[in-house]
Structure 1
């Protein structure tokens, strides 16, 4: 049987994967209101309210100031760190008129064309750094 320490060690291993944020239960709890905000943008009237006054709309949600700032900055990587789920966050970049391809390319530091070419060629190479702590 797995004890609490074993589970904690297992979950900690997810944080060691470079460039990857695993959507764990902890992240889900942390990002609950952030993700609910993002999902609210599915309704046209909410998108219009958000576009008209982002700060006022964000202030209606019990998110941390750090989460609100990451939304204002459209820092999708930071939003993932703060509990955002990429499929929910898609409602934010869709509200800005961005495609999934356009938004995700900003998360990689690549141009849309570079990111698209990489993905069409099969994605990132499995070679390279596979562990943050071991730099391997």
Structure 2
């Protein structure tokens, strides 16, 4: 876990299994058709706040300028606005899943990012290997 954080760190699937778990029953459409699963895991927000994201507190709601990029196997990547995963702004709960339908993921494969509110599974990131936290300001301000 890196980017604009005060405490970058590495977390394994075994580490995630030791943290308090929650579950989410999901339905989504994928390239394989309609899917219905129950995932067990840790809320993404809980893991990210441990890294102490650095948002500009001099800006009103500075964390709303935050983004999170999740990268998985095959360099697959999905990007989220901070407000999508912060329970102070959203009722959604994005998970770092450690199992699907009661079957643990293989340690070598890593966790899966699960987005229960999505109707399509395209932002589900399998074999998650990197989380990056940043802000949009350099991109937006540089685009003027």
Higher strand share: 2
* TM-score, length of structure 2 as denominator length: 0.25
**Structure with bigger gyration radius:** 1
* TM-score, length of structure 1 as denominator length: 0.26
Higher helix share: 1
